[in-house]
């Protein structure tokens, strides 16, 4: 496994595959955040909207992300767009549900005081609701990332895509166990690196900024 890992790094296959996969992940994940957070806030704040949309969101969330791939291929063909669509559907709903939960867990006094002071509309959402729910939203973003990463690997496995999933597929087709294990190690390394360097750092800063850390 170690020899295969070194060989793929030396010939550039593994770095190129990681870059390709992360590019797709970034597109799908940032789109999921841009859609999922506002959707979660709307579900939390608008009772009629919640009654209609929340059951649909919860039902769709029960679908494994890979089940979206046949639909994505019918719509977008065998393209990067199909994989990005699977990533979006794998993470958007989780982010929306987490964002709704973050609003529900806010201290109700914040909303009561804001309304007593006449803070409404955009000022309320940008100055009270979003900051108050932000620690919970960050946790949801971390959860959404993990769903997006899994959805990406599942999508890339099913057709030639130039990413980490394709390297796994090639290793399987060649019955090359060492390549398969080496690529799996690369996937784990990337996942741990993003989690530790990005999300744990962000969570720590947010919790410190919001006074949620226990005194040391």
pLDDT tens profile 49-80: 888 888 888 888 888 888 888 888 888 887 78
Q: Please report whether residue 214 resides in a domain.
A: no
Q: Please report whether residue 215 resides in a domain.
A: no
Q: What is the pLDDT of residues 1-53, one digit of tens each?
A: 677 777 778 877 888 888 888 888 899 999 999 999 899 888 888 888 888 88
Q: Please report whether residue 157 resides in a domain.
A: yes
Which CATH number belongs to the domain containing residue 200 in this structure? 1.10.3720.10
Q: Please report whether residue 216 resides in a domain.
A: no
Cβ 85 vs Cβ 75: under 8 Å? yes
Instruction: Give how many domains the chain has, as a whole number.
Output: 1
Q: Please report whether residue 81 resides in a domain.
A: yes
Range of the domain at 130: 2-209
Q: Please report whether residue 170 resides in a domain.
A: yes
- pTM score, two decimals? 0.81
Q: What angle do CA 100, 106, 111 make, to 5 degrees?
A: 105
User: What sign for the dihedral angle of Cα 46, 50, 53, 58?
Assistant: positive
Q: Is the pLDDT of residue 216 over 70?
A: no
Q: Please report whether residue 125 resides in a domain.
A: yes
Tokens found for residue 209: 């900024």
Q: Please report whether residue 152 resides in a domain.
A: yes
């Amino acid at each position: 496994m170690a020899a295969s890992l070194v060989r793929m790094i030396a010939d550039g296959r593994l770095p190129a595959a990681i870059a390709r996969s992360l590019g797709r992940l970034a597109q799908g994940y940032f789109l999921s955040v841009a859609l999922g957070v506002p959707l979660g806030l709307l579900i939390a704040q608008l009772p009629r909207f919640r009654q209609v949309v929340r059951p649909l969101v919860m039902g769709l969330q029960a679908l494994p992300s890979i089940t979206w791939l046949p639909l994505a291929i019918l719509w977008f063909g065998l393209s990067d767009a199909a994989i990005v669509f699977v990533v979006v559907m794998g993470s958007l709903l989780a982010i929306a549900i987490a964002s709704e939960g973050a609003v529900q867990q806010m201290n109700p006094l914040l909303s009561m005081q804001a309304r007593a002071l006449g803070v409404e509309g955009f000022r309320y959402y940008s100055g009270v609701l979003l900051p108050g729910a932000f620690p919970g939203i960050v946790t949801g973003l971390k959860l959404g990332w993990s769903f997006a990463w899994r959805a990406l690997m599942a999508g890339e496995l099913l057709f030639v895509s130039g990413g980490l999933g394709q390297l796994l597929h090639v290793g399987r087709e060649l019955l090359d166990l060492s390549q398969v294990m080496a690529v799996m190690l690369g996937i784990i390394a990337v996942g741990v690196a993003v989690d530790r360097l990005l999300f744990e750092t962000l969570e720590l800063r947010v919790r410190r900024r919001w006074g949620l850390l226990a005194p040391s």
